[in-house]
Amino acid sequence: MPEETTQLTINGEASSVPDGCSVDALIKRLGLAGKRCAVELNRNIISSEDWERTRLAAGDQVEIVNFVGGG
């Protein structure tokens, strides 16, 4: 049986995630776990302490900024 998914927008691109997906799980799915990044959900910044308990819903707008150091 196929996995149920939720449709949302990530950095301006239509995407789907498993139903009940958390912001933390999304970060892991995108290969950004352990990297410095900021997440905005529906124009609200989500603190990294809240990623695990913040669930994504259909129609959500997610913006993720990954900070890259350089010299």
* Residue 71 domain flag: no
In a domain, 26, yes or no: yes
Residue 42 falls within a domain, yes or no? yes
In a domain, 61, yes or no: no
Q: Are 17 and 50 in contact (CB under 8 A)?
A: no
Question: Is position 49 within any domain?
Answer: yes
Q: What is the chain's pLDDT, residue by residue, as a tens digit (71 residues)?
A: 667 999 999 999 999 999 999 999 999 999 999 999 999 999 999 999 999 999 999 999 999 998 877 66
The answer to the question of residue 38 being in a domain is yes
* Strand ranges across the sheet with 13-18: 13-18, 5-10, 61-66, 37-41, 44-46
Report the SS3 class of residue 45: strand
User: Is residue 47 included in any domain, yes or no?
Assistant: yes
Q: What domain range includes position 21? A: 5-55
The answer as to whether 63 is a domain residue is no
pLDDT of 1 reads: 65
| Domain total of the chain | 1
